[in-house]
């Protein structure tokens, strides 16, 4: 490929987006959210805008627009796949066929003219890709299939929002001429779904994966166990799931994943180049396990199941050998089921475990994780104990005023761990946007879209710099989250904000630019059937 002159990415500013980008489906969805601002329902647009300016989230590392140039997808457009590009080609064709109604054939040979040409050039380069949209063709290339897949997400966003529709729409299907060279800032760009406080089915998790994939998220952390529920079947310890998984916050029926279910989630995520990070929390947050097996309790008595929302009251019994047999069994199973290198062992809020016991627990659990060939990953509280070089500590406490949180994070870094940054006052998707947000919590403060966006993981904690940071992650805790709609409403638009922090170079980011690009996502979410919080900080298109 010829070399592309680059300029820093910056979408052209426009006072308003085209009126035709109506967020009507989102408006209809939002109407069921108590307290959401009323948005007049209008019919879906019958025609997409001819060609919109590029409004890509996360902003590419470099993007050059080609004025007056555009590519139009037609009934004759085909996808040309070079070796290694089959998967991305099939995925892209699936999206294009269902909304355009065009055949979009995939071919392995033929001329590039009139086609979307996908190629894997080999030679690595991780998730970096190049995308060139010209009048006669679209060319997308990467050193890896993963990079190609990330580039496909960019191409989706260059096409009109209706391309996300699950039913055939009229078009036209233009994409603005661009030359993009792109690569992520951080290798870890994650989101966490708490399936313990409320259970979410495989289908719901996959729907969430699809939302996240659009923003180039590559790590899916599943919080599988907590006081209120145990969500993964462990064959030798059936009561963990059958009893420990039988309820949820508020007393609902709960649920759990069989090994097959879990394998299906792993497969679906892997198809989107997303690594699953399974978490089994301990020594605290373990009431569901303690209730399931009396032997795990120091006094040999199983507590009742718990359906409230308190934290810090449960602990595994540090001195009992059976505790480590249990952990070996559970972590060993998860290690086998999970192709990714990480096992997340929780370690947060161990208020009912003495500090010396906590250190002993970490020593034992670290040894188990290592024996099963995985990298120790935990909430940054683990920095209070001994952790091996190369482990991952997830910083979660608020950035402001959390001496203890920053101290354990720094202690982890001193030992050679790297941080995944999830400061609750910026990155927690369960914090309310405003005092009147009907869902969520506010213990870390209110997190409007700008709060989610305007921070830098490389400078947030004194003494921690970019090289200590593995990446960012947006956790969605689900004490108050029950439905797909709830997930959408808390996730959009904040997950794209965190995704951009993880992907885009710091110098390429600005709130004023982001809010305009974010506004253009609203009609995409509408077309995809996703609800969102219509933040007044964002100039959503009006009809």
Q: Where are the alpha helices (DSSP H) in 214-282?
A: 239-242, 259-271
Among residue numbers 366 through 395, which ones bind ligand NGO (CB under 6 A)? 379
DSSP string of 446-493?
---HHHHHS--TTTSSTT--GGGEEEEEEEE--SS--SHHHHHHHHTT
Can you tell me which of 6, 441, 483, 537 binds ligand NGO, judged by CB under 6 A? 441
Residue 264 near ligand NGO by CB under 6 A: no
Can you tell me which of 428, 453, 489, 514 binds ligand NGO, judged by CB under 6 A? 428
Catalytic member of 349, 366, 367, 479: 349
Residue 442 near ligand NGO by CB under 6 A: no
- The secondary element (H helix, E strand) that includes residue 220 is strand 219-223
- Residue 173: strand pairing partners: 73
Looking at the Cβ atoms of 348 and 486, the one nearer to ligand NGO is 348
Residue 540 near ligand NGO by CB under 6 A: no
Residue 200 near ligand NGO by CB under 6 A: no
What is the C-alpha to C-alpha distance for residues 184 and 11, in angstroms, rounded to an integer? 18
Among residue numbers 294 through 313, which ones bind ligand NGO (CB under 6 A)? 311
Residue 271 near ligand NGO by CB under 6 A: no
- Told to judge if 360 belongs to the known catalytic residues of this protein, a careful annotator would answer no
Looking at the Cβ atoms of 39 and 290, the one nearer to ligand NGO is 290
Among residue numbers 333 through 352, which ones bind ligand NGO (CB under 6 A)? 348-349
DSSP string of 116-134?
EEEEE--S--TT-EEEEE-
Looking at the Cβ atoms of 70 and 286, the one nearer to ligand NGO is 286
Residue whose C-beta lies closest to ligand NGO: 477
Q: How far is the CB of 155 from ligand NGO (least distance, A)?
A: 35
Looking at the Cβ atoms of 180 and 350, the one nearer to ligand NGO is 350
What is the C-alpha to C-alpha distance for residues 13 and 194, in angstroms, rounded to an integer? 38
Q: How far is the CB of 279 from ligand NGO (least distance, A)?
A: 10
Instruction: Answer positive or negative: Cα dihedral of 120, 121, 122, 124.
Output: negative
Do β-strands 173-182 and 129-133 pair in parallel, antiparallel, or remain unpaired? antiparallel
- Residue 78: strand pairing partners: 115
The residue among 405, 403, 328, 338 whose CA lies nearest residue 371 is 328
What SS3 state is found at 139? Answer: strand
What is the C-alpha to C-alpha distance for residues 523 and 529, in angstroms, rounded to an integer? 10
Can you tell me which of 477, 514, 525, 540 binds ligand NGO, judged by CB under 6 A? 477
- The secondary element (H helix, E strand) that includes residue 180 is strand 173-182
Residue 446 near ligand NGO by CB under 6 A: no
Looking at the Cβ atoms of 149 and 428, the one nearer to ligand NGO is 428
Looking at the Cβ atoms of 348 and 366, the one nearer to ligand NGO is 348
Residue 71 near ligand NGO by CB under 6 A: no
Q: How far is the CB of 464 from ligand NGO (least distance, A)?
A: 18
461, 406 Cβ separation under 8 angstroms:
yes
The residue among 434, 444, 442 whose CA lies nearest residue 398 is 444
What is the C-alpha to C-alpha distance for residues 120 and 124, in angstroms, rounded to an integer? 9
Site residue total, ligand NGO (CB under 6 A): 10
What is the C-alpha to C-alpha distance for residues 414 and 364, in angstroms, rounded to an integer? 21
Report in angstroms the alpha-carbon separations of 43 from 159, 197, 312.
21, 37, 49
Looking at the Cβ atoms of 142 and 402, the one nearer to ligand NGO is 402
Q: Which residues are catalytic?
A: 349
* Interface residue list for ligand NGO (CB under 6 A): 311, 348-349, 379, 396, 428, 430, 441, 477, 479
């Amino acid at each position: 490929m010829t070399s592309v002159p680059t300029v820093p990415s910056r979408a052209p500013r426009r006072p308003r987006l085209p009126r035709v980008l109506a967020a009507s489906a989102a408006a209809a969805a939002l109407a069921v959210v108590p307290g959401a601002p009323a948005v007049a329902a209008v019919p879906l647009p019958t025609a997409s805008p001819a060609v919109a300016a590029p409004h890509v989230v996360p902003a590419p590392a470099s993007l050059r627009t080609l004025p007056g140039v555009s590519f139009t997808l037609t009934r004759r457009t085909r996808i040309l796949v070079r070796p290694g590009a089959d998967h991305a080609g099939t995925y892209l064709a699936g999206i294009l066929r269902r909304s355009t109604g065009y055949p979009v054939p995939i071919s392995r040979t033929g001329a590039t003219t009139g086609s979307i040409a996908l190629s894997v050039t080999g030679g690595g380069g991780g998730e970096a890709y190049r995308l060139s949209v010209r009048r006669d063709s679209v060319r997308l290339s990467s050193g890896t299939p993963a990079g190609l897949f990330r580039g496909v997400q960019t191409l989706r966003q260059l096409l009109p929002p209706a391309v996300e529709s699950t039913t055939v729409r009229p078009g036209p299907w233009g994409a603005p001429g661009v030359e993009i060279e792109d690569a992520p800032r951080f290798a870890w760009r994650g989101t966490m779904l708490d399936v313990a406080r409320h259970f979410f089915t495989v289908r719901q998790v996959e729907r969430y994966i699809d939302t996240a994939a659009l923003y180039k998220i590559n790590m899916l952390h599943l919080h599988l166990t907590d006081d209120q529920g145990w969500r993964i079947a462990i064959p030798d310890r059936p009561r963990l799931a059958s009893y420990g998984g039988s309820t949820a916050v508020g007393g609902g029926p709960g649920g759990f994943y069989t090994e097959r279910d879990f394998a299906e989630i792993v497969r679906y995520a892997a198809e989107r180049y997303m690594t699953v990070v399974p978490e089994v929390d301990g020594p605290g947050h373990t009431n569901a396990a303690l209730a399931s097996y009396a032997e795990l309790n120091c006094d040999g008595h199983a507590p009742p199941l718990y359906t409230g929302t308190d934290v810090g009251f449960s602990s595994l019994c540090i001195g009992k050998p059976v505790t480590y047999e249990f952990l070996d069994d559970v972590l060993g199973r998860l290690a086998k089921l999970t192709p990714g290198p990480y096992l997340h062992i929780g370690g947060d809020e161990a208020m009912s475990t003495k500090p010396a016991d906590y250190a002993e627990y970490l020593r034992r659990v670290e040894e188990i994780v290592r024996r099963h060939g995985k990298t120790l990953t935990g909430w940054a509280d683990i920095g209070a104990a001994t952790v091996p070089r190369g482990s991952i500590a997830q910083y979660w406490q608020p950035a402001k005023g959390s001496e203890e949180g920053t101290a354990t994070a720094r202690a982890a870094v001193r030992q050679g761990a790297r941080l995944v940054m999830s400061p609750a006052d910026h990155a927690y998707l369960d914090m309310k946007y405003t005092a009147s947000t009907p869902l969520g919590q506010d213990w870390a403060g209110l997190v409007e879209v700008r709060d989610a966006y305007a921070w830098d993981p490389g400078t947030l904690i004194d003494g921690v710099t970019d090289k200590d940071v593995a990446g960012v992650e947006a956790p969605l805790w689900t004490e108050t989250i029950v439905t797909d709609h709830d997930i959408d409403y808390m996730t959009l638009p904040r997950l794209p904000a965190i995704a951009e922090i993880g992907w885009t170079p710091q110098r390429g980011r600005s709130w004023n630019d982001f809010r305009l690009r974010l506004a253009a996502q609203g009609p995409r979410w509408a077309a995809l059937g996703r609800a969102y919080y219509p933040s007044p900080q964002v100039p959503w298109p009006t009809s």
